[in-house]
Chain A
Amino acid sequence: MIFLLTMVFIGIILIEVPGLIKNKYWHELKIFSAFLFIAFIMSLFYIIGMPIPNPVKGEEYLIKDILHLNYK
Protein backbone atom coordinates (compact mmCIF):
# COMPACT_ATOMS: atom_id res chain seq x y z
CA MET A 1 0.00 0.00 0.00
CA ILE A 2 2.83 2.39 0.78
CA PHE A 3 4.33 1.50 -2.60
CA LEU A 4 1.03 2.45 -4.30
CA LEU A 5 0.98 5.72 -2.39
CA THR A 6 4.50 6.66 -3.52
CA MET A 7 3.53 5.79 -7.10
CA VAL A 8 0.54 8.14 -6.90
CA PHE A 9 2.63 10.98 -5.52
CA ILE A 10 5.36 10.49 -8.11
CA GLY A 11 2.56 10.63 -10.68
CA ILE A 12 1.35 13.95 -9.21
CA ILE A 13 4.88 15.37 -9.36
CA LEU A 14 5.25 14.27 -12.98
CA ILE A 15 1.98 15.99 -13.91
CA GLU A 16 2.62 19.32 -12.19
CA VAL A 17 6.34 20.07 -11.97
CA PRO A 18 7.40 20.18 -15.68
CA GLY A 19 4.82 22.93 -16.30
CA LEU A 20 6.13 24.95 -13.36
CA ILE A 21 9.79 24.60 -14.30
CA LYS A 22 9.14 25.50 -17.93
CA ASN A 23 7.45 28.77 -16.92
CA LYS A 24 10.04 29.44 -14.21
CA TYR A 25 7.53 29.76 -11.37
CA TRP A 26 10.04 29.18 -8.53
CA HIS A 27 7.93 30.65 -5.69
CA GLU A 28 4.98 28.53 -6.79
CA LEU A 29 7.22 25.44 -6.85
CA LYS A 30 8.29 26.05 -3.26
CA ILE A 31 4.75 26.42 -1.93
CA PHE A 32 3.55 23.45 -4.00
CA SER A 33 6.32 21.26 -2.54
CA ALA A 34 5.44 22.35 1.00
CA PHE A 35 1.75 21.48 0.59
CA LEU A 36 2.54 18.23 -1.21
CA PHE A 37 4.88 17.21 1.61
CA ILE A 38 2.13 17.82 4.17
CA ALA A 39 -0.31 15.79 2.03
CA PHE A 40 2.21 12.94 1.76
CA ILE A 41 2.78 12.85 5.53
CA MET A 42 -0.97 12.85 6.20
CA SER A 43 -1.65 10.02 3.73
CA LEU A 44 1.21 8.02 5.24
CA PHE A 45 -0.23 8.45 8.73
CA TYR A 46 -3.66 7.38 7.47
CA ILE A 47 -2.31 4.24 5.82
CA ILE A 48 -0.10 3.19 8.72
CA GLY A 49 -2.85 3.85 11.21
CA MET A 50 -1.44 6.66 13.34
CA PRO A 51 -3.95 9.31 14.46
CA ILE A 52 -4.19 12.55 12.48
CA PRO A 53 -4.88 15.90 14.21
CA ASN A 54 -8.60 16.46 13.96
CA PRO A 55 -9.96 20.01 13.56
CA VAL A 56 -13.43 19.01 14.79
CA LYS A 57 -12.04 17.93 18.16
CA GLY A 58 -10.23 21.26 18.46
CA GLU A 59 -13.43 23.22 17.78
CA GLU A 60 -15.39 21.08 20.21
CA TYR A 61 -12.82 21.67 22.93
CA LEU A 62 -12.85 25.41 22.26
CA ILE A 63 -16.60 25.84 22.28
CA LYS A 64 -17.60 23.28 24.88
CA ASP A 65 -14.88 23.39 27.52
CA ILE A 66 -13.57 26.93 27.30
CA LEU A 67 -16.51 29.06 26.25
CA HIS A 68 -19.45 26.82 27.34
CA LEU A 69 -21.51 28.05 24.41
CA ASN A 70 -22.78 24.70 23.17
CA TYR A 71 -26.46 23.92 22.83
CA LYS A 72 -26.54 20.54 24.53
Chain B
Amino acid sequence: MKIEKGIISSSQLMFLIIGLIEASTLTGAFISGITKQDTWIVLLAGFMICLFLLWVYTSLSKKFPGRNLIEINDEIYGHNSGKIMSILYIYYFWFIIPANIRFITDFFSTYLFPETDISVFEILIIIICMYTLKKGIEVIARAGFILTILAIIVSIFITLVTIKDMQLSNFLPFFQMNFKEFTQGTNLMVSVPFGEIVVFLMIFPCVNEIKQVKKFAFVGLIIGFVFFLAVIFRNISILGNISSIQVLPSYQVAKNINIGDIIERTEVLVAVVLLFNVFFKICIFYYATVLSIAQVFKLRCYKPLVIPVGVISSILSMTMFTSTVDEVYAASIYSVFVIPFIIIFPVISLIIASIRKLN
Protein backbone atom coordinates (compact mmCIF):
# COMPACT_ATOMS: atom_id res chain seq x y z
CA MET B 1 0.00 0.00 0.00
CA LYS B 2 1.39 3.38 -0.88
CA ILE B 3 2.56 5.33 2.13
CA GLU B 4 3.45 8.48 0.25
CA LYS B 5 0.48 10.22 -1.24
CA GLY B 6 2.21 13.30 -2.61
CA ILE B 7 2.90 13.83 -6.28
CA ILE B 8 5.63 15.98 -7.75
CA SER B 9 6.11 16.99 -11.35
CA SER B 10 9.15 16.06 -13.39
CA SER B 11 10.56 19.59 -13.57
CA GLN B 12 10.40 19.72 -9.77
CA LEU B 13 12.42 16.51 -9.78
CA MET B 14 14.99 18.24 -11.97
CA PHE B 15 15.28 21.11 -9.49
CA LEU B 16 15.58 18.64 -6.62
CA ILE B 17 18.59 17.04 -8.27
CA ILE B 18 20.17 20.41 -9.08
CA GLY B 19 19.66 21.54 -5.48
CA LEU B 20 21.31 18.41 -4.11
CA ILE B 21 24.39 18.83 -6.29
CA GLU B 22 24.61 22.54 -5.46
CA ALA B 23 24.55 21.79 -1.75
CA SER B 24 27.35 19.31 -2.18
CA THR B 25 29.33 21.90 -4.13
CA LEU B 26 29.73 23.89 -0.99
CA THR B 27 30.01 21.09 1.55
CA GLY B 28 32.42 19.07 -0.56
CA ALA B 29 34.94 21.84 -0.82
CA PHE B 30 37.52 19.87 1.11
CA ILE B 31 38.23 17.82 -2.01
CA SER B 32 40.42 20.67 -3.21
CA GLY B 33 42.65 20.12 -0.21
CA ILE B 34 43.83 16.86 -1.69
CA THR B 35 43.98 17.63 -5.41
CA LYS B 36 45.15 21.17 -5.24
CA GLN B 37 44.75 22.82 -8.59
CA ASP B 38 43.61 19.75 -10.55
CA THR B 39 40.23 19.47 -8.93
CA TRP B 40 38.47 19.98 -12.25
CA ILE B 41 40.09 16.84 -13.66
CA VAL B 42 38.80 14.81 -10.74
CA LEU B 43 35.41 16.42 -11.22
CA LEU B 44 35.27 15.34 -14.87
CA ALA B 45 36.21 11.78 -13.93
CA GLY B 46 33.56 11.70 -11.20
CA PHE B 47 30.96 13.04 -13.61
CA MET B 48 31.65 10.29 -16.15
CA ILE B 49 31.19 7.66 -13.48
CA CYS B 50 28.04 9.33 -12.26
CA LEU B 51 26.48 9.35 -15.75
CA PHE B 52 26.77 5.59 -15.77
CA LEU B 53 25.38 5.33 -12.23
CA LEU B 54 22.36 7.50 -13.01
CA TRP B 55 21.63 5.30 -16.01
CA VAL B 56 21.66 2.27 -13.64
CA TYR B 57 19.30 3.99 -11.19
CA THR B 58 16.79 5.16 -13.80
CA SER B 59 16.76 1.75 -15.49
CA LEU B 60 16.13 0.10 -12.15
CA SER B 61 13.32 2.54 -11.46
CA LYS B 62 11.84 1.96 -14.91
CA LYS B 63 11.68 -1.81 -14.42
CA PHE B 64 9.60 -1.38 -11.27
CA PRO B 65 7.33 1.60 -11.91
CA GLY B 66 5.72 3.15 -8.87
CA ARG B 67 7.92 1.34 -6.36
CA ASN B 68 10.68 2.83 -4.32
CA LEU B 69 13.96 1.32 -3.23
CA ILE B 70 12.66 -0.69 -0.29
CA GLU B 71 9.99 -2.43 -2.34
CA ILE B 72 12.48 -3.11 -5.15
CA ASN B 73 14.82 -4.75 -2.64
CA ASP B 74 11.97 -6.85 -1.31
CA GLU B 75 11.09 -8.08 -4.78
CA ILE B 76 14.58 -8.86 -6.02
CA TYR B 77 16.13 -10.42 -2.96
CA GLY B 78 13.10 -12.01 -1.31
CA HIS B 79 11.70 -11.07 2.05
CA ASN B 80 14.56 -11.75 4.48
CA SER B 81 17.59 -10.60 2.51
CA GLY B 82 15.58 -7.68 1.16
CA LYS B 83 14.93 -6.52 4.73
CA ILE B 84 18.64 -6.73 5.53
CA MET B 85 19.52 -4.66 2.43
CA SER B 86 16.86 -2.11 3.35
CA ILE B 87 18.21 -1.79 6.89
CA LEU B 88 21.69 -1.18 5.47
CA TYR B 89 20.29 1.56 3.24
CA ILE B 90 18.47 3.11 6.21
CA TYR B 91 21.78 3.22 8.04
CA TYR B 92 23.39 4.91 5.03
CA PHE B 93 20.67 7.56 4.69
CA TRP B 94 20.55 8.17 8.42
CA PHE B 95 24.31 8.67 8.65
CA ILE B 96 24.33 11.60 6.23
CA ILE B 97 21.92 13.74 8.26
CA PRO B 98 24.12 14.31 11.36
CA ALA B 99 27.20 14.85 9.19
CA ASN B 100 25.51 17.67 7.26
CA ILE B 101 23.94 19.24 10.36
CA ARG B 102 27.36 19.23 11.99
CA PHE B 103 28.94 20.86 8.92
CA ILE B 104 26.53 23.77 8.81
CA THR B 105 26.60 24.38 12.57
CA ASP B 106 30.40 24.25 12.60
CA PHE B 107 30.48 26.78 9.78
CA PHE B 108 28.11 29.17 11.50
CA SER B 109 29.72 28.90 14.90
CA THR B 110 33.25 29.34 13.54
CA TYR B 111 32.78 32.21 11.11
CA LEU B 112 29.65 34.13 12.02
CA PHE B 113 28.68 33.55 15.66
CA PRO B 114 31.83 32.60 17.57
CA GLU B 115 30.45 33.03 21.06
CA THR B 116 27.36 30.87 20.60
CA ASP B 117 27.20 27.22 21.58
CA ILE B 118 26.59 24.85 18.67
CA SER B 119 23.51 23.26 20.22
CA VAL B 120 21.49 26.41 19.50
CA PHE B 121 21.95 26.08 15.73
CA GLU B 122 21.37 22.36 15.76
CA ILE B 123 18.08 22.61 17.60
CA LEU B 124 16.89 25.45 15.34
CA ILE B 125 17.74 23.64 12.11
CA ILE B 126 16.25 20.35 13.23
CA ILE B 127 13.01 22.01 14.35
CA ILE B 128 12.57 23.68 10.95
CA CYS B 129 13.35 20.44 9.13
CA MET B 130 10.81 18.59 11.26
CA TYR B 131 8.14 21.15 10.41
CA THR B 132 8.93 20.90 6.70
CA LEU B 133 8.76 17.12 6.79
CA LYS B 134 5.41 17.12 8.52
CA LYS B 135 3.97 18.90 5.50
CA GLY B 136 5.25 16.34 2.99
CA ILE B 137 7.34 16.00 -0.14
CA GLU B 138 5.36 18.47 -2.26
CA VAL B 139 6.41 21.33 0.02
CA ILE B 140 10.05 20.31 -0.28
CA ALA B 141 9.83 20.16 -4.07
CA ARG B 142 8.16 23.54 -4.34
CA ALA B 143 10.67 25.15 -1.98
CA GLY B 144 13.55 23.56 -3.85
CA PHE B 145 12.68 25.47 -6.98
CA ILE B 146 13.13 28.86 -5.31
CA LEU B 147 16.23 27.90 -3.33
CA THR B 148 17.95 26.51 -6.41
CA ILE B 149 17.27 29.58 -8.53
CA LEU B 150 18.52 31.81 -5.72
CA ALA B 151 21.78 29.87 -5.45
CA ILE B 152 22.35 30.08 -9.21
CA ILE B 153 21.69 33.84 -9.27
CA VAL B 154 24.08 34.52 -6.37
CA SER B 155 26.76 32.38 -7.95
CA ILE B 156 26.47 34.14 -11.31
CA PHE B 157 26.62 37.53 -9.60
CA ILE B 158 29.77 36.66 -7.67
CA THR B 159 31.40 35.22 -10.78
CA LEU B 160 30.65 38.29 -12.90
CA VAL B 161 31.94 40.70 -10.29
CA THR B 162 35.23 38.87 -9.70
CA ILE B 163 36.23 38.31 -13.34
CA LYS B 164 38.94 40.96 -13.05
CA ASP B 165 40.76 38.88 -10.40
CA MET B 166 40.94 35.68 -12.42
CA GLN B 167 44.39 34.52 -13.47
CA LEU B 168 44.47 31.44 -15.62
CA SER B 169 48.11 30.82 -14.75
CA ASN B 170 46.88 29.58 -11.37
CA PHE B 171 45.93 26.31 -13.00
CA LEU B 172 49.36 25.86 -14.32
CA PRO B 173 51.25 22.90 -12.96
CA PHE B 174 48.92 20.47 -14.67
CA PHE B 175 48.54 16.88 -13.50
CA GLN B 176 50.68 17.22 -10.44
CA MET B 177 49.01 14.37 -8.65
CA ASN B 178 50.02 10.77 -8.52
CA PHE B 179 47.61 7.93 -9.08
CA LYS B 180 46.75 7.47 -5.42
CA GLU B 181 45.65 11.08 -5.02
CA PHE B 182 43.68 10.84 -8.23
CA THR B 183 41.76 7.78 -7.03
CA GLN B 184 41.19 9.35 -3.65
CA GLY B 185 39.86 12.52 -5.26
CA THR B 186 37.62 10.64 -7.68
CA ASN B 187 36.34 8.46 -4.86
CA LEU B 188 35.48 11.51 -2.77
CA MET B 189 33.87 13.19 -5.77
CA VAL B 190 31.72 10.16 -6.53
CA SER B 191 30.68 9.66 -2.93
CA VAL B 192 29.94 13.18 -1.75
CA PRO B 193 28.38 15.24 -4.53
CA PHE B 194 27.37 12.76 -7.16
CA GLY B 195 26.77 9.48 -5.42
CA GLU B 196 24.01 10.81 -3.23
CA ILE B 197 21.67 10.62 -6.19
CA VAL B 198 20.89 7.13 -4.83
CA VAL B 199 18.43 8.84 -2.53
CA PHE B 200 16.29 9.67 -5.53
CA LEU B 201 15.44 6.00 -5.90
CA MET B 202 13.10 6.74 -3.01
CA ILE B 203 11.62 9.78 -4.74
CA PHE B 204 11.26 8.59 -8.36
CA PRO B 205 7.89 6.85 -7.66
CA CYS B 206 6.32 10.17 -6.61
CA VAL B 207 6.72 11.70 -10.06
CA ASN B 208 3.50 11.82 -12.00
CA GLU B 209 4.89 11.18 -15.51
CA ILE B 210 7.03 8.04 -15.41
CA LYS B 211 8.32 8.30 -18.98
CA GLN B 212 9.97 11.66 -18.43
CA VAL B 213 11.91 10.71 -15.28
CA LYS B 214 14.99 9.60 -17.21
CA LYS B 215 15.21 12.71 -19.36
CA PHE B 216 14.70 15.18 -16.54
CA ALA B 217 17.06 13.35 -14.19
CA PHE B 218 19.87 13.51 -16.75
CA VAL B 219 19.18 17.18 -17.53
CA GLY B 220 19.31 17.93 -13.81
CA LEU B 221 22.59 16.09 -13.41
CA ILE B 222 24.17 17.90 -16.36
CA ILE B 223 23.07 21.33 -15.16
CA GLY B 224 24.36 20.55 -11.66
CA PHE B 225 27.68 19.42 -13.11
CA VAL B 226 28.06 22.59 -15.21
CA PHE B 227 27.34 24.70 -12.14
CA PHE B 228 29.86 22.77 -10.07
CA LEU B 229 32.50 23.07 -12.79
CA ALA B 230 31.96 26.83 -13.04
CA VAL B 231 32.31 27.24 -9.27
CA ILE B 232 35.50 25.21 -9.07
CA PHE B 233 36.94 27.00 -12.10
CA ARG B 234 36.26 30.37 -10.52
CA ASN B 235 37.65 29.37 -7.14
CA ILE B 236 40.92 27.95 -8.42
CA SER B 237 41.56 30.78 -10.88
CA ILE B 238 41.00 33.49 -8.28
CA LEU B 239 42.56 31.96 -5.19
CA GLY B 240 45.35 29.94 -6.74
CA ASN B 241 47.61 28.33 -4.20
CA ILE B 242 45.57 29.09 -1.13
CA SER B 243 42.41 27.47 -2.42
CA SER B 244 43.49 24.13 -1.00
CA ILE B 245 43.73 25.34 2.58
CA GLN B 246 40.29 26.94 2.80
CA VAL B 247 37.34 25.41 4.54
CA LEU B 248 35.04 27.07 2.03
CA PRO B 249 36.71 28.67 -1.02
CA SER B 250 33.57 30.48 -2.20
CA TYR B 251 33.50 32.33 1.10
CA GLN B 252 37.03 33.60 0.61
CA VAL B 253 36.31 34.61 -2.98
CA ALA B 254 33.34 36.67 -1.86
CA LYS B 255 35.51 38.53 0.64
CA ASN B 256 37.46 40.12 -2.23
CA ILE B 257 34.44 41.87 -3.73
CA ASN B 258 34.55 45.65 -3.33
CA ILE B 259 32.42 47.64 -5.80
CA GLY B 260 33.09 51.33 -5.31
CA ASP B 261 33.20 50.95 -1.51
CA ILE B 262 29.44 50.50 -1.51
CA ILE B 263 28.93 46.78 -2.09
CA GLU B 264 31.23 45.06 0.38
CA ARG B 265 31.19 42.06 2.72
CA THR B 266 29.16 39.93 0.31
CA GLU B 267 30.34 36.74 1.96
CA VAL B 268 27.17 36.84 4.00
CA LEU B 269 25.31 36.07 0.75
CA VAL B 270 27.40 32.93 0.37
CA ALA B 271 26.64 31.95 3.97
CA VAL B 272 22.89 32.39 3.44
CA VAL B 273 22.94 30.39 0.20
CA LEU B 274 24.91 27.67 1.99
CA LEU B 275 22.32 27.59 4.77
CA PHE B 276 19.44 27.20 2.33
CA ASN B 277 21.20 24.53 0.30
CA VAL B 278 22.28 22.42 3.26
CA PHE B 279 18.80 22.72 4.78
CA PHE B 280 17.41 21.42 1.50
CA LYS B 281 19.83 18.50 1.45
CA ILE B 282 19.03 17.59 5.06
CA CYS B 283 15.32 17.63 4.24
CA ILE B 284 15.74 15.25 1.30
CA PHE B 285 17.76 12.72 3.26
CA TYR B 286 15.51 13.07 6.30
CA TYR B 287 12.51 12.32 4.10
CA ALA B 288 14.24 9.27 2.59
CA THR B 289 15.16 7.94 6.04
CA VAL B 290 11.72 8.38 7.55
CA LEU B 291 9.96 6.90 4.52
CA SER B 292 12.31 3.87 4.49
CA ILE B 293 11.80 3.18 8.21
CA ALA B 294 8.04 3.47 7.79
CA GLN B 295 8.10 1.02 4.90
CA VAL B 296 10.34 -1.55 6.57
CA PHE B 297 8.08 -1.63 9.62
CA LYS B 298 4.92 -1.62 7.45
CA LEU B 299 3.33 1.49 8.89
CA ARG B 300 0.46 3.35 7.33
CA CYS B 301 1.90 6.83 7.73
CA TYR B 302 5.42 8.13 8.18
CA LYS B 303 4.50 11.36 9.97
CA PRO B 304 4.76 10.07 13.62
CA LEU B 305 8.37 9.01 13.06
CA VAL B 306 9.65 12.45 12.14
CA ILE B 307 10.27 13.78 15.65
CA PRO B 308 12.15 10.81 17.22
CA VAL B 309 14.44 10.42 14.20
CA GLY B 310 15.17 14.15 14.35
CA VAL B 311 16.05 14.10 18.04
CA ILE B 312 18.38 11.12 17.59
CA SER B 313 20.04 12.79 14.59
CA SER B 314 20.70 16.01 16.46
CA ILE B 315 22.20 14.19 19.47
CA LEU B 316 24.38 12.14 17.13
CA SER B 317 25.54 15.25 15.30
CA MET B 318 26.77 16.78 18.55
CA THR B 319 28.78 13.74 19.57
CA MET B 320 29.88 12.07 16.35
CA PHE B 321 32.71 14.42 15.46
CA THR B 322 35.07 16.02 17.91
CA SER B 323 36.20 18.80 15.56
CA THR B 324 36.32 19.94 11.93
CA VAL B 325 39.54 18.03 11.32
CA ASP B 326 37.79 14.87 12.43
CA GLU B 327 35.10 15.55 9.84
CA VAL B 328 37.63 15.76 7.02
CA TYR B 329 39.36 12.56 8.12
CA ALA B 330 36.03 10.78 8.51
CA ALA B 331 35.16 11.88 4.97
CA SER B 332 38.10 9.95 3.57
CA ILE B 333 36.96 6.82 5.43
CA TYR B 334 33.35 7.46 4.46
CA SER B 335 34.19 7.54 0.76
CA VAL B 336 35.40 3.93 0.89
CA PHE B 337 32.58 2.80 3.14
CA VAL B 338 29.90 4.08 0.82
CA ILE B 339 31.07 2.37 -2.41
CA PRO B 340 28.85 -0.72 -1.90
CA PHE B 341 25.73 1.39 -1.45
CA ILE B 342 26.28 3.56 -4.49
CA ILE B 343 27.88 1.24 -7.01
CA ILE B 344 27.79 -2.42 -6.04
CA PHE B 345 24.29 -3.00 -4.73
CA PRO B 346 22.35 -1.18 -7.48
CA VAL B 347 24.40 -2.80 -10.26
CA ILE B 348 23.84 -6.26 -8.76
CA SER B 349 20.12 -5.48 -8.39
CA LEU B 350 19.88 -4.41 -12.03
CA ILE B 351 21.70 -7.54 -13.23
CA ILE B 352 19.50 -9.85 -11.16
CA ALA B 353 16.34 -8.02 -12.23
CA SER B 354 17.19 -8.25 -15.92
CA ILE B 355 18.22 -11.91 -15.71
CA ARG B 356 15.07 -12.97 -13.93
CA LYS B 357 12.99 -10.70 -16.19
CA LEU B 358 10.94 -9.27 -13.37
CA ASN B 359 8.59 -6.67 -14.69
Q: Enumerate chain A interface residues (CB-CB to B < 8 A).
A: 12, 15-16, 20, 25, 27-29, 31-32, 35-36, 38-39, 42-43, 46, 51-52, 54-56, 59-60, 62-64, 69-72
Q: Name which residue of chain B comes closest to A61, CB basis.
A: B333
Q: Are B308 and A38 in contact (CB under 8 A)?
A: yes
- Give bound CA distance, A52 to B337, whole Å: 21
Closest 7 CB pairs of A and B: A35-B308, A39-B311, A32-B304, A36-B308, A42-B315, A71-B184, A39-B308
Q: Which of B300, B312, B321 touches A28 (beta carbons < 8 Å)?
A: B300
Number of inter-chain CB pairs below 8 Å: 83
- Give bound CA distance, A12 to B312, whole Å: 14
Could you tell me the dominant secondary structure of chain B's interface residues?
helix
**Residue B334 lies at the interface, judged by CB distance under 8 Å to chain A:** yes
Contacts of B91 in A (CB 8 A): 55
Q: How close is A49's CB to chain B, nearest CB, in angstroms?
A: 11
Contacts of B326 in A (CB 8 A): 56
Q: Name which residue of chain A comes closest to B320, CB basis.
A: A56
- Give bound CA distance, A59 to B180, whole Å: 21
Could you tell me the dominant secondary structure of chain A's interface residues?
helix
Q: Name which residue of chain A comes closest to B321, CB basis.
A: A56
Contacts of B305 in A (CB 8 A): 31-32, 35
Which interface class (under 10, 10 to 19, 20 to 34, 35 or more) fits B? 20 to 34
Q: How close is B341's CB to chain A, nearest CB, in angstroms?
A: 12
**Residue B150 lies at the interface, judged by CB distance under 8 Å to chain A:** no
Q: How close is B135's CB to chain A, nearest CB, in angstroms?
A: 15
Q: Are B336 and A69 in contact (CB under 8 A)?
A: yes
Q: Other than the known A25-B301, A38-B308, A70-B332, what 7 A-B pairs have Cβ atoms closer than 8 Å?
A: A35-B309, A42-B312, A55-B95, A56-B321, A62-B337, A63-B336, A71-B184
Q: How close is A48's CB to chain B, nearest CB, in angstroms?
A: 13
Contacts of A63 in B (CB 8 A): 333, 336-337
- Give bound CA distance, A63 to B191, whole Å: 16
Q: Name which residue of chain A comes closest to B302, CB basis.
A: A28
Contacts of B311 in A (CB 8 A): 12, 36, 39, 42-43
**Residue B169 lies at the interface, judged by CB distance under 8 Å to chain A:** no
Q: How close is B192's CB to chain A, nearest CB, in angstroms?
A: 14
**Residue B219 lies at the interface, judged by CB distance under 8 Å to chain A:** no
With A28-B299, A39-B308 already in contact, the answer to whether A52 and B336 are too (CB < 8 A) is: no
Q: How close is A11's CB to chain B, nearest CB, in angstroms?
A: 10
With A16-B304, A32-B305, A54-B320 already in contact, the answer to whether A71 and B332 are too (CB < 8 A) is: yes
Q: How close is A50's CB to chain B, nearest CB, in angstroms?
A: 11
Q: Name which residue of chain B comes closest to A57, CB basis.
A: B320
Q: Are A64 and B333 in contact (CB under 8 A)?
A: yes
Contacts of B308 in A (CB 8 A): 32, 35-36, 38-39
Contacts of A70 in B (CB 8 A): 332-333, 336
